[in-house]
């Protein structure tokens, strides 16, 4: 072995290895928020269960299962948030339109129920 010349040590090139994919998000904070504040049909609790499963799989190193559970947690979180925002808005809109309809009905019926006293009516 010839050691007479100085050697340059190069780190191994990373050309052949694919870029590392980012770890999947577990949506745990969103699930906790949905569970505590906006728990519509227990969807927030279901989202919390899948978020915890996603975090456990991510810690264990099973990235594919973590992505699967993360996707389910995101779906249930979106459903819980949409249901908890849309349903109260829909209920409020129904109450407002009902009050408007009843007030118009009451104004129209005032003329029907008022009795006019007039002296020109002659009864036999």
pLDDT tens by residue, 90-122:
999 999 999 999 999 888 887 777 766 555 555
Instruction: Answer whether residue 14 is part of any domain.
Output: no
Instruction: Answer whether residue 77 is part of any domain.
Output: yes
Instruction: Answer whether residue 103 is part of any domain.
Output: yes
Instruction: Answer whether residue 124 is part of any domain.
Output: no
Which structural domain, as residue segments, surrounds residue 102? 41-117
| Total domains in the fold of the chain | 1
Would you say the C-alpha torsion 10, 15, 19, 20 has a positive or negative sign? negative
Residue 59 tokens, joined: 């810690």
Instruction: Answer whether residue 102 is part of any domain.
Output: yes
Question: How far is the C-alpha of 86 from the C-alpha of 116, rounded, in Å?
Answer: 48
Instruction: Answer whether residue 9 is part of any domain.
Output: no
Cα 48 to chain centroid, rounded: 12
pLDDT tens by residue, 5-53:
666 665 555 555 555 678 888 899 999 999 998 777 889 999 999 999 9
Degrees, nearest 5: CA angle 20-22-26: 150
């Amino acid at each position: 072995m010839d050691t007479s010349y100085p050697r340059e040590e190069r780190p191994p090139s990373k050309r052949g290895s694919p870029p590392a994919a980012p770890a999947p998000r577990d949506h745990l904070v969103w699930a906790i928020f949905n569970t505590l504040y906006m728990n519509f049909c227990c969807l927030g609790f279901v989202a919390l269960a899948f978020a915890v499963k996603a975090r456990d799989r991510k810690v264990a190193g099973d990235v594919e299962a973590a992505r699967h559970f993360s996707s389910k947690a995101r779906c249930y979180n979106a459903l819980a948030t949409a249901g908890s925002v849309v349903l109260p808005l829909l209920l409020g809109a129904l109450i407002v339109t009902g009050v408007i309809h009843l007030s118009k009905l009451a104004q129209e019926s005032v003329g029907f129920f008022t009795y006019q006293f007039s002296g020109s009516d002659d009864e036999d």
